[in-house]
């Protein structure tokens, strides 16, 4: 699992999709609903239980320990984790927009 910035992933168990924003400081497994995420181009296997919880469109999820940051680009069931640690929502910043 090569977690490079800009790489795209999807949940093996739901419609949820993700973009990697910041790479983790050490290698590990990114999972959704407890199962390793799939590369965006991969086929989702049929069946499998619907996972608990939800990933929300446009939210950023982070692992404080490694600095890993993931953007949810399509909403779906399943909570993200990295090496078993649940990721947490990164607080939105309020910047004065210039555009």
Exposure string over 69-87, b if 16+ CB within 10 A, otherwise e:
bbbbbeebbbbbbbeeeeb
Question: Taking CB under 8 A as the rule, does residue 97 contact other proteins?
Answer: yes
Instruction: Return the ∠ at Cα 16 (arms to 74 and 63), rounded to 5°.
Output: 95
Residue 7 binds other proteins (CB under 8 A): yes
* Among candidate residues 15, 39, 33, the one with its CA nearest the CA of residue 81: 33
Our CB check for other proteins shows the closer of 84 and 94 to be 94
Report if residue 98 touches other proteins, rule: CB under 8 A. Answer: yes
| Residues 54-93 close enough to bind other proteins by CB under 8 A | 57-60, 71, 73-75, 92-93
Binding residues (CB under 8 A) for other proteins: these are 5-8, 19, 21, 57-60, 71, 73-75, 92-99
């Amino acid at each position: 699992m090569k977690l490079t910035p800009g790489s795209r992933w999807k949940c093996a168990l739901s419609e949820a999709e993700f973009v990697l924003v910041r790479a983790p400081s050490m290698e590990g497994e990114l999972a959704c609903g407890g199962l390793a995420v799939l590369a965006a181009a991969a086929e989702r296997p049929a069946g499998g239980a619907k996972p608990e919880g939800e990933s929300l469109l446009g939210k950023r999820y982070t692992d404080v320990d490694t600095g890993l940051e993931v953007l949810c680009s399509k909403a779906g069931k399943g909570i993200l984790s990295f090496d078993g640690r649940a990721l947490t929502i990164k607080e939105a910043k309020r910047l004065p927009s210039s555009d």
